[in-house]
A and B are shown apart, each in its own frame.
Chain A
């Protein structure tokens, strides 16, 4: 039993933390958000330079061969600074699908470019009406001689406007919601027939709906075995969920730190409002919620790679996401309430943290979705 980060993890965390403290302050972030792409090339190349983009990928391709635990502390720093660059979309989802399910040739073509910061990725999965059900895929891929032809409409594809390559889930057989028959394809974002409806999400990241009309890809674009992608999708979304849990810790830390500071400095009735017991107890409950969330993020990051039984992995990740989602909601709502009117304004970083925490609560499944999955796995 040991809850410390090891030396390498600590070094990485320190360098990420130093970087975001120095170059990713609230004002710097505002400029990035307001820029055309809503993403900084400079920040991305710094991530590559510090090795952050290679942590979870194989050493022989230029990575570090690390697990979710190795990224946990970096994710906290990313969460605390409200980083908007598509780190999770690229490292946690798109490239992760290739690393875990791709052929040797696909890995060689993709992963070094990702690790060096030359390629960003996104995972086009969600569809209208699918909510968080990963098996509900209606987008189709049919074989036409030597090529696959993709047709479909993907929603809320995180990081899509910034991505060079998309991983698209599509049905090669069966009906929507069938467990079998889902396949994954590598698609150039610029490929003919791919069109995007880009937007800014509530938490100021870039995403898009992706429409696929007669998009042709070669046989070498198929990731893994035809029709058997669901297990891989679940594994990778669980992995990204574990990282997201760690990211949430950072955002909650900011919300709690900022709120505590406000309680100590804001005066009413001639005294700091932190002297009022009604507010003290609410602050304590926010801190307890964050501690409980931290415990579950540790569990998720430790088990998402280490747990060989997929059923147990899913159960634990869902348990973590329930606790994290509840804590995100609790901490974010209270942080605004305790900041009073100021917390409502765009000027305060805490309102942006609120927006991020609100989105994290829903991302990859809200508390209710994961409660259902947790209980269903219990019953068998």
Chain B
């Protein structure tokens, strides 16, 4: 048993770390570190820096621009990005639409969309959830009716992350409402966001941020060549994506960075004339999160090692990483707010904002925002259902 990376893996990590240190623009690094809002331009700028380096789509096949890295190298790369505090790569094109096209798409679809995803020319979003279909996704109702060489789409999607930036949306739609099983009769469509009949309405979250939207479709015409896989086989496509989970779901790198920041910040906050880190009640919580994170990192490496040896795609392991990883992210954001104490109460300035302490004011909204992590991408309760079924056979 050896818990350490090999010499080659360490060399790879150092290469990535060095490159990130030299190529992550300072203004973007600062925005992430200070929990500032990222614009579409910020996201695309980082996307294009990675694309230029050839690292924007590591898991793609080499002929489409993949790096050929193995599962451990991909993990190291993603965790190093988290640790360095890069802007996130928006996953909808690179890590969701592209794998689907590579597996189910026609040559024409691949040629049309993949290079534009790689270069950041098309910004994608995901149309899955509906007002009545959250965890129970197969109950979705958005309707697509075939009329000649096009589908006419009507209905509503919700929680559509970054739809307000998007050029394209991939959607699960119901093409046949009369099937015996709800999972049948669903199709996977690619829809141009500029199509007439699409309306995007922002859903402002409690931290004041605009990340998610409602997307309304009113008789939106979609050419049939934008159907992926066969009509009525959309659920197969959706399930394939679920099996395409990544091993960095635990977000170890980003949480390690947050932990280091929390320690530094808490040590600088004074409580009864002493640093907050000397407060036993606070410190015990901090220590427990740190220990949980250490355990999760090793758990993650154990799963990776197993994956590398068996060559199996990850299954319920990812659910475990998601549950623990998000609990840790939430705990860190809560402790950060707690460390700031009363200084975490200001939210936004009303008069110009001279002398307004933006960093401490960002901590409570961030705490609010991080509540989403145990809800999104399959709520932690759904993850427990998955483990219960897949691993425990209950």
Contact = CB atoms under 8 A, between A and B. Distances in A.
A225 B241 CA distance: 64
Contacts of B292: 292, 323
B305 A371 contact: no
Contacts of A232: none
B291 A296 contact: yes
Interface residues of A, number: 42
B100 interface: no
A2 interface: yes
Interface in B345-394: 381, 384-385, 387-388, 391-394
B268 to A, nearest CB: 14
B324 A288 contact: yes
Given A291-B320, A374-B291, A1 B384 contact: no
A375 interface: yes
Nearest to A69: B1
B39 interface: no
B394 A323 contact: no
Nearest to B394: A274
Interface string A1-38: 11111100100000000000000000000000000000
Interface in A345-380: 368, 371, 374-375, 378-379
Interface residues of A: mostly helix, strand, loop or mixed? helix
A285 B291 CA distance: 17
Interface in A267-320: 274-275, 277, 280-281, 283-285, 287-288, 291-296, 298-299, 301-302, 319
Contacts of B394: 260, 263-264, 274-275, 280, 283
Contacts of B305: 1-4
Interface string B278-306: 10000110111011101111110110111
Interface centre among B1, B290, B294 (most CB of A within 10 A): B1
A296 B320 CA distance: 16
B392 A296 contact: no
A1 B3 contact: yes
A322 interface: yes
Interface string A147-158: 000000000000
A1 B295 CA distance: 15
Nearest to A5: B1
Given A2-B2, A284-B392, A287-B387, A296 B295 contact: yes
A375 B306 contact: no
Contacts of A322: 287-288, 291
A2 B308 CA distance: 10
Interface string A242-261: 00000000000000000010
A375 B283 CA distance: 7
Given A288-B324, A292-B295, A1 B287 contact: no
A294 B291 CA distance: 13
Interface of B: 1-6, 9, 72, 277-278, 283-284, 286-288, 290-292, 294-299, 301-302, 304-306, 309, 320, 323-324, 381, 384-385, 387-388, 391-394
Q: Top 4 A-B pairs ranked by shortest CB distance?
A: A295-B298, A280-B388, A292-B295, A274-B394
25 contacts: A1-B2, A1-B304, A3-B301, A3-B305, A3-B306, A4-B305, A6-B1, A260-B392, A264-B393, A277-B385, A283-B394, A284-B392, A288-B323, A291-B320, A292-B295, A299-B294, A302-B2, A322-B291, A323-B291, A368-B284, A374-B291, A375-B283, A375-B286, A375-B287, A379-B278
Given A260-B392, A283-B394, 12 more contacts: A1-B2, A1-B6, A1-B304, A1-B305, A277-B385, A280-B392, A281-B384, A295-B299, A299-B295, A323-B295, A374-B287, A374-B291
